[in-house]
Structure 1
Amino acid sequence: MYYISENVVPALELCCLNISMTDLILQTCDTFTTVKWLARHGLIANKLVCRTCRHPMCLQARGSNRDGYCWACSKCGRTKALRHGSFFVHSGLKLIQILEILYLWSSERPQVEISKQTGVSPRCLLNWYNCIRDVCARYLTDNPVEMGGHDRTVEIDETKLIERTNRRGKYKPGQWVLGMVELDTNIIMMVPVDEIDAATILPVIAQYVRAGTRIVTNRCQDYNALPQQELTNYGYTFVAPEDSINSMHEIWDLCKAKFRALKTNDNNFSSHLQEFLWRRRIKDNFFGNILYWIRHYYDVFNLVTFDF
């Protein structure tokens, strides 16, 4: 059996991957070392068996190919793209360019700077950012937040994001967002909502906050004015905030600052919000962690054979 890399890094080690941009460039200095790096980290297939004749395939140099190599069967002559089934499959960019984009995205570099450094057009870069944010969104869907419970306190608050007036003086109303933070653990969740009346918000809270939770809100009187039977069903206790409690306001400040810097528009608001939540959940080493979840969702280890 032919292997691109003799060893494949265990998936969990990606979460601890600590590498500088300089070292990444040195380790992927040409086409083959880039291919080997990706195979070693489980991001492209490391081995392949021909589906037609069941013969092990090997890597074949192909100058006309965008990756410089393809999988080839020495017995029947079948070939397959090196990046088939991987996160990189639908892109015409070089693999090293995509790795650089992933690294610079992880470092939260300005998109203008990344476009210049990688030689990738702003439109193409935006498409790649959306692909990365799709991974963040899948992570959030597969790892839903649960907070609160008996003897636990959750602070909630609502705010409008991307509310602004454009250069022509036209007002854009922005998007209401419900924010929730568990005070002991700092677990947070943000959910776009159409309305912020208590009757609309309460079922949204119930998706993420366990029954029996003490909920701190500036609008506790609105929630306590709801029918008693409805409050009993959810099992929440709504109380006014103390002067020392302003956790959600601090998070709003961080979120709004990031959205202002990105100049986010209505079309990609949700994906930016998901990226913000992903970074808050992951906390650090964003490059290693985004590689881990790309590897998780694009499982090239199951690509021992290809359908031709």
Structure 2
Amino acid sequence: MASYKYDIASGAEAFTFNSVMRACTKEVAALSWCMQHGLIAAKAVCSRCAPPPFMRRKGMHWRCSRSSCRVERSVRMNSFVERSTAPISKLVMVIFFWASGTHVTEAAQHAEVGGDGNVVEIDATSMTKKQKYNRGKKHADY
């Protein structure tokens, strides 16, 4: 039976509290940090062109470099943040706190939700079905 050694310390300095918080200061910084560590693709290839040229990053989108194509696609595509609408910087912080086992109240302090001078508004939206054209079941909410 072969014994395996895993060097957990190599490259771990990129995932310390200070480095993750520094990467999450701005959305572009969080995006480049995710690309640097392989969480989001650092290169993209156009799927419509044959032979496929590389796509160039334009903000938060990839854009085909061919002038006849110009297909745009989100940098989130084919990644773990594809279906989320939250900013990448907030997602990275939430995942970091979850992976490190940080308590929710401590994580909320670092994620800057509420606090002195910050107002958090919670909407009490009714999720019941609204009747249309005076037909169907009447609901007390309306």
TM range (shorter): 0.5 to 0.7
Instruction: Flag the 1:120–1:91 CA change in 2: closer, same or farther, 3 A.
Output: farther
Indicate whether 1:71 and 2:69 are aligned: no
Alignment of 1:155-170 (within 5 A): none
Higher Cα radius of gyration: 1
Task: Give the superposition deviation at 1:116.
Answer: 4.3
CA distance in 1: counterparts of 2:93 and 2:18, whole angstroms:
11
Q: What one-letter code is carried by the residue in structure 2 that aligns with 1:37?
A: W
Give the C-alpha shift of residue 115 in structure 1: 3.3
> Pick from 47, 70, 86: which aligns with 1:51?
47
- Which residue identity lines up with residue 56 of structure 2 in the other structure? C
Q: Which blocks of at least 5 consecutive residues in structure 1 are unaligned?
A: 1-11, 62-68, 122-308
Give the 5 Å matches for 1:264-303. Answer: none
Q: How many residues align?
A: 103
CA 1:26/1:117 → structure 2, altered by over 3 Å: closer, same or farther? closer
- Report the Cα distance in structure 2 between the residues aligned to 1:13 and 1:30, rounded to whole angstroms: 31
Say which structure, 1 or 2, has more relative contact order (CA 8 Å, 6+ apart). Answer: 1
Match in the other structure for 1:41: 37
2:90 is aligned with 1:94 = no
Q: TM-score, normalised by structure 1?
A: 0.30
Cα displacement string for residues 253-304 of structure 1 (whole angstroms, at most 9, x for unaligned residues): xxxxxxxxxxxxxxxxxxxxxxxxxxxxxxxxxxxxxxxxxxxxxxxxxxxx
What is the RMSD computed on CA atoms of the aligned residues? 2.6
Residue type of the alignment partner of 1:110: H
After TM superposition, give the deviation of residue 74 of structure 1 in Å: 2.8
Contact 1:57 1:72 in 2 (8 A): yes
How far apart in 2 are the matches of 1:79 and 1:120? Answer: 33
Partners of 1:101 and 1:89 in 2: how far apart?
A: 16
* Percent of aligned positions that are identical: 22
TM-score, normalized by length of structure 2?
Answer: 0.61
Give the C-alpha shift of residue 106 in structure 1. 2.3
What is the DSSP-based 3-state SS (H/G/I as helix, E as strand, rest coil) of the residue aligned with 1:45?
Answer: coil
Q: Within 5 Å, which residues of 2 pair with 1:173-192?
A: none
Partners of 2:30 and 2:92 within 8 A in 1: no
Report Cα offsets for 1:188-218 as digits up to 9, x if no partner.
xxxxxxxxxxxxxxxxxxxxxxxxxxxxxxx
1:21 maps to amino acid? F
Deviating 4+ runs (over 4 angstroms) = 12-16
Bigger proportion of residues as helix: 1
